[in-house]
């Protein structure tokens, strides 16, 4: 501020009708002028607020040590009080909740190294040594839960400190669905792989900033197996009591940013750990054997005529030496039965649906054949591709998807979204004997070639015959 602008402000201010305001104007103006004057003399701006300045002056009469202890305590108290909590869910970004800094902890940026997982760690260089603190107990609206950063010496009033490592997860979908849940876990496993296999002491789960306290059973088992310990979910008990974390790692982009190599490493580890957890031998299965598994669903997206479908695959399997066919229902298999089944599966035949997530537990380079009901190709959006992505990320081969051309009739045109929600979403799947037969024959043939060429393997960097990487 220059002297001229000060005087201009003084004039505007004095024009105010209230006498008390005029006096205030004068006082402020004199103060500002003094500051400018002292600045000119010392060439140093006075940065301390006047009250603190006076306070520190008074302290000069005290003996040195008491003075500085008193001063530090005072400043620490001020620091504690100045910790500012912001809403976890920032509604300003609700039109692009997943982009860049996202709408979750939107004031903070991820550590982004090309090809690596995007994450935030606290304390870190970028947090200037500050810890992450969370507050709030809301399970329905994430804008009523809060976050803040605080130095360990000056945690906010009423805060408690949680020791050890805490994983804080943001999931845009949910933790109950096998696929969406697994996607949210992948970045944590990737982080652990790069950080001496460090195990979390506890988890904090958020969906849209809302607290969640459990994950689906399959996912819970995967995480228990991967980290070799039960998963603990932090409960926030009192909305006035923040919780700060000695060390916290935050993920909000799932596997976004990770290269295919990095993703495959994660699934190698998960697969290896799951087999280990289920006491399943890590040794090779017989070289001449080819396992083909029909993993069935019940209800929506199940096959309308299962026996017809089974017969087709049985026939094709019989024509290939060493081929063994298994028919299973994911709904009545325990976790370890699923792990065991996938270890024996080279070609997985299954309708689109969460049970397909099991594909990551097969040996690398195994094959997947997927089936979708009528209407999905046009109306289901990119969501229908998740298992194609999952197949690629985990080092498997997606051998294509069959879209049923027939099915229930929708009263609207077949590009109308209403058809998806009312009819196609829960549609069931028919069959085409010629197509299924030729398809199965071709996939089995290619697989046999690969097996002969010895490229279907259990040996890879993050899980080998002698144990898992972590």
CB closer to ligand NAG out of 42 and 434: 434
What is the CB neighbour count within 10 angstroms for residue 381?
A: 10
Site string for ligand NAG, 232-261 (x = CB under 6 A): ------x-x---------------------
Please tell me whether residue 372 adopts helix, strand or coil conformation: strand
To ligand NAG, the closest distance from the beta carbon of 226 in angstroms equals 14
CB closer to ligand NAG out of 102 and 328: 328
User: What are 111's strand-pairing partners?
Assistant: 119
CB closer to ligand NAG out of 232 and 449: 449
CB closer to ligand NAG out of 31 and 435: 435
To ligand NAG, the closest distance from the beta carbon of 73 in angstroms equals 5
User: What are 401's strand-pairing partners?
Assistant: 370
How far is Cα 118 from Cα 113, in angstroms, rounded to an integer?
7
Tokens 């046009």 label which residue?
A: 378
Cβ-contact 141, 126 below 8 angstroms: no
Cα→Cα distances 17→14, 25, 27, 175, 424, Å = 8, 12, 17, 63, 72
Length of the chain: 470
Cβ-contact 269, 460 below 8 angstroms: no
How far is Cα 83 from Cα 247, in angstroms, rounded to an integer?
18
CB closer to ligand NAG out of 58 and 232: 58
Q: How many CA atoms lie less than 13 Å away from 348 in the CB half-sphere?
A: 35
CB closer to ligand NAG out of 153 and 331: 331
Taking the alpha carbons of 460, 463, 469, 470 in that order, is the dihedral positive or negative? positive
How far is Cα 185 from Cα 166, in angstroms, rounded to an integer?
13
Site string for ligand NAG, 277-316 (x = CB under 6 A): -xx------------------x------x-xx--------
Site string for ligand NAG, 35-74 (x = CB under 6 A): -----------------------------------x--xx
Contacting residue, 9, 22, 124, 422, with ligand NAG by CB under 6 A: 124
Taking the alpha carbons of 357, 358, 361, 365 in that order, is the dihedral positive or negative? negative
To ligand NAG, the closest distance from the beta carbon of 142 in angstroms equals 20
User: What are 41's strand-pairing partners?
Assistant: none
Q: Which stretch binds ligand NAG (CB under 6 A): 39-47, 142-150, 415-423, 427-435?
A: 427-435
| Residue 365 binds to ligand NAG (criterion: CB under 6 A) | yes
CB closer to ligand NAG out of 329 and 469: 329
Cβ-contact 362, 348 below 8 angstroms: yes
Question: Which one, of 441, 382, 435, lies nearest residue 405 by Cα?
Answer: 435
Contacting residue, 456, 463, 468, 470, with ligand NAG by CB under 6 A: 456
Structure token pair of residue 108? 């903070």
CB closer to ligand NAG out of 232 and 337: 337
To ligand NAG, the closest distance from the beta carbon of 338 in angstroms equals 12
| Residue 405 binds to ligand NAG (criterion: CB under 6 A) | yes
How far is Cα 223 from Cα 353, in angstroms, rounded to an integer?
21
Question: Which one, of 389, 396, 367, lies nearest residue 180 by Cα?
Answer: 389
To ligand NAG, the closest distance from the beta carbon of 394 in angstroms equals 11
Cβ-contact 305, 431 below 8 angstroms: yes
Site string for ligand NAG, 157-186 (x = CB under 6 A): xx----------------------------
To ligand NAG, the closest distance from the beta carbon of 38 in angstroms equals 27
| Residue 113 binds to ligand NAG (criterion: CB under 6 A) | yes
| Residue 435 binds to ligand NAG (criterion: CB under 6 A) | yes
Contacting residue, 61, 196, 286, 434, with ligand NAG by CB under 6 A: 434
Question: Which one, of 383, 350, 386, 344, lies nearest residue 369 by Cα?
Answer: 350
CB closer to ligand NAG out of 14 and 284: 284
Helices (H), 285-371: 306-318, 335-343
Total of chain residues touching ligand NAG, rule CB under 6 A: 32
The CA-CA-CA angle for residues 377, 383, 388, to 5°, reads 85
Contacting residue, 54, 111, 160, 461, with ligand NAG by CB under 6 A: 111
To ligand NAG, the closest distance from the beta carbon of 326 in angstroms equals 13
To ligand NAG, the closest distance from the beta carbon of 371 in angstroms equals 14
Contacting residue, 125, 321, 409, 466, with ligand NAG by CB under 6 A: 125
Restricting to residues 311-340, name those near ligand NAG by CB under 6 A.
329, 331-332, 336
The CA-CA-CA angle for residues 324, 327, 330, to 5°, reads 135
Cβ-contact 195, 233 below 8 angstroms: no
Site for ligand NAG, rule CB under 6 A: 70, 73-74, 111, 113, 124-126, 157-158, 238, 240, 278-279, 298, 305, 307-308, 329, 331-332, 336, 364-365, 405, 432, 434-435, 455-457, 460
């Amino acid at each position: 501020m220059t002297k001229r602008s000060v005087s201009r402000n003084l004039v505007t201010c004095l024009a105010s009708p209230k006498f008390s305001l005029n006096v205030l104007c004068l006082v402020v103006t004199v103060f500002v002028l003094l500051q400018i004057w002292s600045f000119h003399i010392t060439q140093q701006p006075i940065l301390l607020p006047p009250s603190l300045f006076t306070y520190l002056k008074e302290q000069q009469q005290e003996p040195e040590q008491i003075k500085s202890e008193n001063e530090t305590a005072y400043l620490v108290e001020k620091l504690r009080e100045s910790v500012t909590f912001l809403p976890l869910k920032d509604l300003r970004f609700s039109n692009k909740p997943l982009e860049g800094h996202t709408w979750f902890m939107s004031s903070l940026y991820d550590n982004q190294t090309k090809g690596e997982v995007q994450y935030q760690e606290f304390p870190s260089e970028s947090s200037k040594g500050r810890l992450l603190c969370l507050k709030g107990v809301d399970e329905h609206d994430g804008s009523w839960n809060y976050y803040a950063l605080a130095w360990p010496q000056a945690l906010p009033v009423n805060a408690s400190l949680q020791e050890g490592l805490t994983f804080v997860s943001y999931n845009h979908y949910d933790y109950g669905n096998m696929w969406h849940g697994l996607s949210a876990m992948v970045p944590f496993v990737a982080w652990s792989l790069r950080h001496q296999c460090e195990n979390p002491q506890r988890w904090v789960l958020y969906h849209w900033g809302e607290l969640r306290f459990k994950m689906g059973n399959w996912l819970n088992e995967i995480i228990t197996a991967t980290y070799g310990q039960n998963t603990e979910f932090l409960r926030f008990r009192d909305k006035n009591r923040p919780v700060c974390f000695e060390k916290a790692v935050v993920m909000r982009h799932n596997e976004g940013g990770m290269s295919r190599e990095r993703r495959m490493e994660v699934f190698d580890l998960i697969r290896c750990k799951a087999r280990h957890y289920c006491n399943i031998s890590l040794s090779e299965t017989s070289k001449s054997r080819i396992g083909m598994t029909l993993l069935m669903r019940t209800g929506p997206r199940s096959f309308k005529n299962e026996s017809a479908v089974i017969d087709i695959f049985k026939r094709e399997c019989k024509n290939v030496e060493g081929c063994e066919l298994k028919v299973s229902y994911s709904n009545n298999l325990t976790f370890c039965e699923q792990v065991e089944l996938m270890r024996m599966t080279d070609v997985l035949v299954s309708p689109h649906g969460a049970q397909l997530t099991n594909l990551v537990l097969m040996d690398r380079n195994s094959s997947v054949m997927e089936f979708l009901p009528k209407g999905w190709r046009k109306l289901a959006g990119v969501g229908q591709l998740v298992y194609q992505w999952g197949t690629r990320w985990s080092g498997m081969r997606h051998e294509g998807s069959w879209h049923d051309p027939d099915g229930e009739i929708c009263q609207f045109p077949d590009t109308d979204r209403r058809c998806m929600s009312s009819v196609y979403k829960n549609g069931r799947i028919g069959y085409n004997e010629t197509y299924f037969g030729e398809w199965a024959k071709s996939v089995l043939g290619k697989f046999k070639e690969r097996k002969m060429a010895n490229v279907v393997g259990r040996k890879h960097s993050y899980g080998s015959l002698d144990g898992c990487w972590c």
